[in-house]
Structure 1
Amino acid sequence: MADNPSFIEVQKSLAGIGYPASKDDLVKYAQQHGAEEGIVQALQAMPDREYDGPSGVSKEITKTS
């Protein structure tokens, strides 16, 4: 698998989303806002739970490598 997207890439794709947000909400938002496939895949690989903010999302994405 390719390297995971950077924190900045992910946060650009999720700019404007309201937190807390579920994994499904994050994936749908990224898809609807034209996120690259690697970002969508990284979000889909995260545990299915609610995320309180960008730092929680970034922690999970860095773990899923």
Structure 2
Amino acid sequence: MTRRDDARVEKALQGADFPAGKQDLLDYAQTRDAGEETLQGLRALPDREFANLRDAVDAVPQEPEGSDVPGGTERVPDI
């Protein structure tokens, strides 16, 4: 996932009930016909409960912009 993919993840999870676990979010995104890239990013989420949409989006591992190598790292939220 890249930063520009955040909007796709947000769209796929819009309206989901929180708190929610990883599998709950994956199931929800699939019912909304999320694309494979979006689902791949959601599959990479840590196996935990997410408090809200922002918490879930921020936990999706990121790849540097322009990178074609999978396996980005989890973002650290700005404080």
TM over 0.5: yes
TM-score under structure 1 length normalisation: 0.83
CA contact (8 A) 2:41 2:61 kept: no
1: CA distance, partners of 2:11 / 2:24: 15
| Greater gyration radius | 2
Higher RCO, Cα 8 Å, sep 6+: 1
2: CA distance, partners of 1:11 / 1:22: 16
Whether 1:40 aligns to 2:35 is no
Greater share of residues in helix: 1
One-letter amino acid of the structure 1 residue matched with residue 57 of structure 2: S
2: CA distance, partners of 1:45 / 1:24: 11
Unpaired stretches in structure 2, ≥5 consecutive residues = 63-70, 73-79
2: CA distance, partners of 1:35 / 1:60: 18
RMSD across aligned C-alpha pairs, in angstroms? 1.5
2: CA distance, partners of 1:53 / 1:12: 14
Task: Give the share of equivalent positions with the same residue, in percent.
Answer: 34
How many pairs were matched up?
62
